[in-house]
Structure 1
Amino acid sequence: MVASKAWEWSNVSDERWRIPSEESYYLRERWKKQGYKNFLDLGCGVGRHSILFAEAGFQVDAFDLSEDGIELLREKAHNLNLPVKIIKGDIKELPYEDGIFDCLLAYHVIYHTDTDGIKKVIEEIERVLKPGGEFFITFLSKNNNSYNDIAYRIDHNTVIKMEEPEIGIPHFYTDLGGIKKLLRNFTIIKINHINEITLNSSKWHFNVHGLKTVQIT
Structure 2
Amino acid sequence: MEVNYLLSRSYVNEVPDTELIEYAALIPEGPILDIGVGNGRNAFFLAQMGFHVLGVDISEEVVNECNRRAQELKLPVRAIYSNIMDFKIDENTYACIICSYVLPFLKRSDALRLIERIKHGLLPQGIALIKTFTTRDPGYIRLKKKGLSEVEKNTFYSPKLRSYFFYVEPGELKELFTDFKLISYAEGYSLDITHDEPHYHGWASVLAQKPGK
The bucket for the TM-score relative to the shorter chain is: 0.7 to 0.9
Aligned to 1:197: 191
Which residue, out of 4, 19, 23, partners 2:19? Answer: 23
Q: Tell me, which stretches of 5 or more residues in structure 2 are unaligned?
A: none
Gap change, CA 1:168 and 1:211, over 3 Å in 2: same
Per-residue deviation at 1:2? 7.7
TM-score (norm 1): 0.82
TM-score (norm 2): 0.83
Aligned to 1:42: 35
Instruction: Report the aligned-residue RMSD.
Output: 2.6
Per-residue deviation at 1:91? 2.0
Aligned to 2:97: 104
% of aligned pairs identical? 21
Does residue 182 (structure 1) correspond to residue 180 (structure 2)? The answer is no
**Alignment-mate amino acid for residue 205 of structure 2:** N
Contact 1:98 1:127 in 2 (8 A): yes
Which residue, out of 111, 121, 130, partners 1:128? Answer: 121
Q: Tell me, which stretches of 5 or more residues in structure 1 are unaligned?
A: none
Distance 1:52 1:130 in 2: 21
Give aligned pairs, total.
Answer: 205
Partner deviation per Cα, 1:6-39 (whole Å, 9 max, x = no partner):
3235xx4x8x5233233332233443xxx43321
Aligned to 2:152: 155
Q: Secondary structure at the match of 1:75?
A: helix
Contact 1:195 1:205 in 2 (8 A): yes
Q: Secondary structure at the match of 2:69?
A: helix
Partner deviation per Cα, 1:152-208 (whole Å, 9 max, x = no partner):
343221134689xxx332121112443244334433222101212247312110010
Partner deviation per Cα, 1:81-102 (whole Å, 9 max, x = no partner):
1222322222234324211111
Gap change, CA 1:114 and 1:38, over 3 Å in 2: same
Aligned to 1:214: 212
Aligned to 2:5: 5
Distance 1:25 1:54 in 2: 13
